[in-house]
């Protein structure tokens, strides 16, 4: 499998602030890749560099098999972009917008545009400024998909949408990307939607890419544990192994994530450390639980770095 995005040693500074730190990223061809990270992790900076809107301080980027600096207009026309704050000309109707865009893209598919308009229930004669936010995002996605892009980059496309509109966009994106074999890089805080959409996931924290792997591999790396004590002493949570994440205690109940090494050793360790437990439940961790655990670990590490710097 080839790669549609490859970044090597990518670093970007805003003055003294380092937004990206030596990022190596590969997005496989045909993947729906979810990029996660807390606010300020560097996600938007990374996307802007990939789109050519920012120049990195160091490192190099290859898109669609070409150095970013050598992309032609035709190459760029095969990259779609949809963003939360994307602006469309409010005075245009949808039909006029599509008529304006079509000649700019050699691969524009009028049949696909019509199918998307029908699927998204968009009125062709309504001016864009009269559309709801959900309708404007559908129009933006429609304009990005009609040229049949080889690569689609999306930055927080689901923010503030109601559940029905979000479901329409997710189903449309899933079906089309699967049918067409498009590659998608999607950045969103809506982790529930990403878990249903993505087959690859990357986690960016404090400008560093700390993991990048198939979704099924990530799901298999952690187990969620819930321990219910039956009286007796409760082990001090600060004494638990450092690779146990998201450790929380509420009364007699403790919850946390443990690494899954494919053996019973982790669960045996839980029973050893909680000998008086009335109940121990272990299950696979969700993407949200893994995200929270990794984010908390990053926040703790950052605070230690600040204290020691």
The reported pTM is 0.82
Per-residue model confidence as pLDDT tens digits over 15-63: 889 999 999 999 999 888 999 888 888 998 999 999 988 999 999 999 9
Per-residue model confidence as pLDDT tens digits over 123-170: 989 999 999 888 888 899 889 989 989 899 988 877 666 677 667 766
CATH homologous superfamily of 3-217: P-loop containing nucleotide triphosphate hydrolases (3.40.50.300)
Confirm if 59 and 8 have CB atoms less than 8 A apart.
yes
Confirm if 168 and 138 have CB atoms less than 8 A apart.
yes
Please list the residues that pair with 25 across neighbouring strands.
7
């Amino acid at each position: 499998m080839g790669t549609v995005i490859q970044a090597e040693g990518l670093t970007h500074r805003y003055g003294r602030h380092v937004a990206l730190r030596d990022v190596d990223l590969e997005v496989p061809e045909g993947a729906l890749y979810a990029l996660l990270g807390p606010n300020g992790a560097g996600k938007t900076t990374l996307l802007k560099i990939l789109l050519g809107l920012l120049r990195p301080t160091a490192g190099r980027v290859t898109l669609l098999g070409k150095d970013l600096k050598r992309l032609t207009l035709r190459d760029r026309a095969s990259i779609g972009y949809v963003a939360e704050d994307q602006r469309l000309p409010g005075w245009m109707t949808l039909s006029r917008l599509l008529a304006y865009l079509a000649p700019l893209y050699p691969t524009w598919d009028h049949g696909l545009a019509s199918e998307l308009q029908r699927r998204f229930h968009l009125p062709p004669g309504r001016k864009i400024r009269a559309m709801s936010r959900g309708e404007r995002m559908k129009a933006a996605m429609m304009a990005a998909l009609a040229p049949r892009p080889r690569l689609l980059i999306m930055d927080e496309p689901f923010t503030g949408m109601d559940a029905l509109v979000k479901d329409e966009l997710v189903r449309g994106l899933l079906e089309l990307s699967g049918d067409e074999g498009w590659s998608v890089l999607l950045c969103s805080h809506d982790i529930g939607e990403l878990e249903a959409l993505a087959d690859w996931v990357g986690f960016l924290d404090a400008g560093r890419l700390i993991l990048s792997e198939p979704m099924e591999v990530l799901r298999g790396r952690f187990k969620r544990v819930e321990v219910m004590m039956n009286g007796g002493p409760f082990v001090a949570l600060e004494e638990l192994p450092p690779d146990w994440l998201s450790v929380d205690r509420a009364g007699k109940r403790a919850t946390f994530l443990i690494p899954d090494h494919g053996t019973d050793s982790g669960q045996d360790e839980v029973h050893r450390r909680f000998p008086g437990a009335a109940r121990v439940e272990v299950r696979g961790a969700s993407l949200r639980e893994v995200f929270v655990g990794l984010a908390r670990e990053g926040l703790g590490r950052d605070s230690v770095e600040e204290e020691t710097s």
